C-alpha cells in the first residue's frame, strides 16, 4: 500500500512582522509590507541609517541583497568572525564591537592566564560566549539563514533609487 504524500503548501514569513503566509502572497496581510519593494532594498542604505541612529524602516532579511556578497560574508565569518568582522561587513556595529571587546578580553586572559586561574575562573565565561556566538554565526551563514539589515533608498521626490 502506497502512502500518499500530502501536498504541503510552501510558506514564507514576513520580514517585518514574522507572520506566516503562502509563498505566492504579494503583500503581508498583517503589516501591509509589499514584498516587491524588497527588490529595491540594499544593505548600504541600512548601514547609512544605522550610522545616523535611525532604525526606522530597517528590516532583517535572510535573503542577501545585491550589495552583500555571500562569499565575502562567509570568508569574513570564518576568518574574522572571532573579532566580529562579519558583523561590521553587514552593518551590525553593536554586535561587532561586542565581539571585538570579547576578543581583546580573550587576549588579556591569555597573557595573564596564571593569575586569573588562581583567583577567578568565572572570568573565562565571556570567551565561551564569544566562541559560541562565532560558531552560531558560521552555522547561520552556511545554512543561508544569517539576518542582514536592509532598507530602501528613497530619492528626494519619494521614489525608489534603482
How far is the CA of 162 from the CAs of 36, 38, 47, 154, 159, in angstroms?
13, 12, 17, 9, 9
Distance, in Å, from the CA atom of 142 to the CA atom of 134, rounded to the nearest integer, reads 12
Provide the pLDDT for residue 43.
92
Instruction: Dump pLDDT digits (tens) for 55-103.
Output: 888 889 888 999 999 999 999 999 999 999 999 999 999 999 999 999 9
Per domain, the residue ranges of the chain are 11-152
pLDDT for residue 1: 46
pTM over 0.85: no
Amino acid at each position: 500500500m502506497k502512502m500518499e504524500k500530502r501536498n504541503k503548501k510552501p510558506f514564507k514569513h514576513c520580514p517585518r512582522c514574522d507572520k506566516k503566509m503562502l509563498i505566492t502572497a504579494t503583500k503581508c496581510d498583517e503589516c501591509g509590507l509589499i514584498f516587491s519593494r524588497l527588490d529595491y532594498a540594499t544593505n548600504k542604505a541600512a548601514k547609512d541609517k544605522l550610522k545616523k541612529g535611525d532604525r526606522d524602516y530597517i528590516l532583517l532579511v535572510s535573503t542577501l541583497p545585491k550589495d552583500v556578497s555571500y562569499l565575502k560574508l562567509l570568508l569574513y565569518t570564518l576568518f574574522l568572525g572571532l573579532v566580529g568582522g562579519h558583523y561590521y561587513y553587514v552593518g551590525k556595529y553593536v554586535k561587532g564591537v561586542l565581539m571585538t571587546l570579547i576578543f581583546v578580553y580573550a587576549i588579556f586572559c591569555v597573557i595573564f592566564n596564571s593569575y586569573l586561574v588562581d583567583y577567578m575562573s568565572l572570568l573565562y565565561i565571556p570567551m565561551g560566549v564569544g566562541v559560541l556566538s562565532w560558531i552560531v554565526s558560521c552555522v547561520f551563514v552556511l545554512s543561508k539563514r544569517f539576518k542582514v539589515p536592509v532598507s530602501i533608498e528613497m530619492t528626494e521626490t519619494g521614489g525608489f533609487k534603482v
